[in-house]
């Protein structure tokens, strides 16, 4: 258990220490959330880019504690694409199409590294159903892009997205341990530590927002480890439980979309 403790502490400390530095960087480059409509809860400009601290904490644990397997490298490279996309969006407000292209590119990196949904459990009996390659790739793309945007859409209240990421990653950590997926367990507990390290700055009233940088990064990483650590495992619980864990933000997203449609607001 020593490696998991180190992963958590390292990610927590790095995230906690770097968040004030990221706050200064956000002000310096103008990545600021300005309250310019009635939907904003805060009344003064708040820096974005807080996700950079979460990214730094998580990556510190991954780079120092995990062997450089194809899957690990795929997760790191995909995360870099997502974080770069998030930083640009926090600064310049990218279009939905540009973000979608970037998210698909990151998802394809995961797929090329071997992280994809190759099979599903048989709903009509025992065993599993192996998917054709094009089905596996399509399903993985939908899952990764969907979960990435799910966390992004729910990031509307102080501490909400980071709190959900902490709960989800802690649950996925336990599931990974039960199924012998130790690399996934290290990543999961690193996400938990980095999210917790950021939370003191993000509780109401927030001193900094994680921005799209953090929300998309957390969603991307949660989608990746839920595939790597659970859907490839051989037991039903490793498939069902992560879906239930991630189902909390998914249902919240659906309700958020419905509310915005009913109020004739942009999604």
> How open is the CA angle 18-199-64, to the nearest 5 degrees?
45
- In this structure, what DSSP letter does residue 48 have? -
| Residue whose C-alpha is closest to residue 53's, from 173, 199, 156 | 199
Where does the chain show beta strands of DSSP type E?
32-33, 46-47, 119-121, 128-130
What is the Cα–Cα distance from 116 to 164, expressed in whole angstroms? 23
What is the Cα–Cα distance from 210 to 201, expressed in whole angstroms? 10
> How open is the CA angle 208-210-211, to the nearest 5 degrees?
105
Would the annotation count 152 as a binding residue?
yes
> In the numeric block, which tokens belong to residue 263?
């109020």
Identify the bridge partners of residue 130 per DSSP, sorted by sequence position.
Answer: 119
Identify the bridge partners of residue 128 per DSSP, sorted by sequence position.
Answer: 121
| 155 within 8 A of 210, measured Cβ to Cβ | yes
DSSP-H helix ranges across 93-132: 96-112
Task: Tell the residue number behind the tokens 């012998």, with chain if given.
Answer: 180
| Residue whose C-alpha is closest to residue 234's, from 99, 148, 119, 145 | 119
Phi, psi for 121 (deg, rounded to 5)? -70, 145
Known binding positions for Mg(2+) = 152, 212
Known binding positions = 152, 212
């Amino acid at each position: 258990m020593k490696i998991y403790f180190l992963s958590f502490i390292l990610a927590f400390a790095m995230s906690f220490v770097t968040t004030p530095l990221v706050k200064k960087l956000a002000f310096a480059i103008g990545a600021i959330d300005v309250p310019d409509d009635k939907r904003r809860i805060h009344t003064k400009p708040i820096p974005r880019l807080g996700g950079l601290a979460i990214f730094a904490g998580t990556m510190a644990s991954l780079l120092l504690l995990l062997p450089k397997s194809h899957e690990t490298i795929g997760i790191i490279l995909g995360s870099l694409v997502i974080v770069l996309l998030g930083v640009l969006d926090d600064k310049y407000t990218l279009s939905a199409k540009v973000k979608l292209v970037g998210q698909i590119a990151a998802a394809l990196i995961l797929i090329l590294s071997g992280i994809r949904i190759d099979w599903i459990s048989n709903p009509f009996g025992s065993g599993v159903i192996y998917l054709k390659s094009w089905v596996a790739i399509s399903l993985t793309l939908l899952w990764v892009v969907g979960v990435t945007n799910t966390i992004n859409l729910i990031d509307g209240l102080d501490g909400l997205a980071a709190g959900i990421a902490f709960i989800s990653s802690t649950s996925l950590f336990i599931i990974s341990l039960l199924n012998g997926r130790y690399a996934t367990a290290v990543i999961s507990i690193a996400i938990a530590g980095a999210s917790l390290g950021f939370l003191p700055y993000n509780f109401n009233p927030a001193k900094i927002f994680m921005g799209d940088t953090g929300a998309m990064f957390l969603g991307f990483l949660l989608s990746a480890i839920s595939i790597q650590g659970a859907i490839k495992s051989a037991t039903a619980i490793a498939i069902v439980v992560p879906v239930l864990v991630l189902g909390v933000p998914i249902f919240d997203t659906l309700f958020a979309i419905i509310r915005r449609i009913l109020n004739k607001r942009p999604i």
